[in-house]
Amino acid sequence: MHSSSNKTQIWSNLEEHCNEISKKSLIELFNENQKRGSDFSIPFGELWIDISKQTIDSKTIQLLSDLAEENKINQFFIDMMTGSPVNLTEKKPALHTALRAPKDSKILVEGENVMPKIAETLEKMEKFSSYLRSGKLLGSTGAPITSVVALGIGGSNLGPVMAHKALSKFAHPEITIEFCSSIDSVDLDQTLNRLNPETTIFLVTSKSFNTRETLLLMENAKKWLEESIVTSGLSKHLVGITSARDKAIKYGLEESMIFDLPDWVGGRFSLPSAAGLALMVSIGPDEFSNLLSGMNKIDNKTVSEPFESNGALLLALTDIWNRSFLDHPTMAIIPYSSQMSYFPPYLQQLMMESLGKTHQNDGHGFSSSIGSVIWGATGTESQHAFFQFLHQGSDVVPCEMLGFSNSYKNLHQEQQDSLFANLLAQSEVLAFGSDTEEVPIPEKKLEGNRPSTVILAPELTPFILGQLISLYEHRTVASGVIWGVNPFDQWGVELGKSIANDIELAMINSRPSVDNSKRNSSSEKLLEKFKNFRNS
């Protein structure tokens, strides 16, 4: 907690320590401690987390641990996982961990155990998925469903898309899974052009069943279906995933085709809920269960491990150190796996929507910056794109590199070796640069001293992916708690949606916008030009 009016002694101690350690290079830190690679690495579940190439020492870790303890981070995780209303502004629990907890757990919300309802939804998902995967789910004309189109935006899309791509090696070979989130008509049109209406089903995910973009996609999907299927048969091709069951029924969905999405789960944390149905259809209930087991394993370790061996907390504290003390505004996420190409954008929502806040929970502003801009791309591709900037650019960008020791079924293991060799080489050069005595040409000189973290896992499986997802979730939540913000709301997104609806209504009705008196001259001119281009 560090508003300008309540900076604590621990925060001040960290600022003082930052002034000292920032004078040291990573080369010096490694020279001071020959065991640094071991001393600043930990196992966490099946993951190996190495923060030795960050600008830290044992005193940094101790002071950051004091900061976490001061903010009662352990108690927060206990409160969160037992159903307390930790989402302060919305006065709701944030119980995504319950979605992957053992079925015999007891977690109370307002006196009611939520686990039976979670188990019921999961069982319904498993039956639906198994039915579809076995060719027994029929459309309105009697043809088996072989294509699934998931309609949703934000958390309803980014998590499932990321996981589906990451686990593509586990996908059912005869079922097509597509995702559409954009209201750009080209996105849905190009997808539907590849599919047969008689064998296609749409999964419509919206917690409120009021999301403008998703409902627009659903209406266009209905029109496409109606060209081949009588209107009375549409309900066999529409599945709702929502906490607003009544609204979904009003839109023509059958009650038996609606899966409950708990009101207390945020979109960016919703993959283990019914929002992950498309993923379960793809990889099957057993592998989806392995994904949940991986998540649950890291949930348990996060709430029980002490600071020095708690991977989620150590990464959160490192993020706070890099952003608020060393003043690095961005962080690059580099997975050395082509299957993980959607992981950086998934983390953009998870971390930036959670931590993009201007005020603390007590209403105070901040005396330093919080939350990082998250960006990145897959490994060797990014080396040939933006790594030049990482190595020699004027801004220092902390990097996080993800690697996997084994390829799928150990095929093409030599390419996996090459991927890791590239990962390790880049992390070394970022940290240590080039030997200045051997580089007489200034343009070729690499200063090094660019911090990075390496997260290594045995193989990209559902169980391992579940651990990675949970790790980043808890790391994000912990950062928010220590910074003193609510990581579960996103009010900054809501106003833009409201204004967009107003403008859209004005365009449809060919009248001035409802709030015309407040519309600025730039927006009015752009609206005018938009209409001119439309009519020219």
The whole-angstrom separation of Cα 279 and Cα 259 is 14
The whole-angstrom separation of Cα 232 and Cα 119 is 32
Look up tokens 């910074």; give the residue: 483
Looking at residue 393, the DSSP 8-state letter turns out to be S
Q: Work out whether strand 41-44 and strand 47-50 pair parallel, antiparallel, or are unpaired.
A: antiparallel
Rounded to an integer, what is the distance from CA 373 to the centroid of its chain? 13
From the candidates 127, 497, 525, 529, which is the catalytic residue?
Answer: 497
The one-letter amino acid code at 398 reads P
Q: For this structure, is 353 an active site residue?
A: yes
DSSP string, 302-358: HHHS-GGG-HHHHHHHHHHIIIIIS---EEEEEES-GGGTTHHHHHIIIIIIHH--S
From the candidates 110, 384, 409, 414, which is the catalytic residue?
Answer: 384
The one-letter amino acid code at 43 reads P
Q: How far is CA 402 from CA 49, 104, 341, 349, 468, in A?
A: 10, 34, 12, 18, 10
209 φ/ψ angles, rounded to the nearest 5 degrees: 50, 40
The whole-angstrom separation of Cα 338 and Cα 137 is 32
Q: For this structure, is 497 an active site residue?
A: yes
From the candidates 198, 353, 400, 473, which is the catalytic residue?
Answer: 353
The whole-angstrom separation of Cα 104 and Cα 357 is 37
DSSP string, 32-96: H-TTHHHHTEEEETTEEEE-TTSS--HHHHHHHHHHHHHTTHHHHHHHHHTT---BTTTTB---G
Q: For this structure, is 529 an active site residue?
A: no
Q: Catalytic positions, please?
A: 353, 384, 497
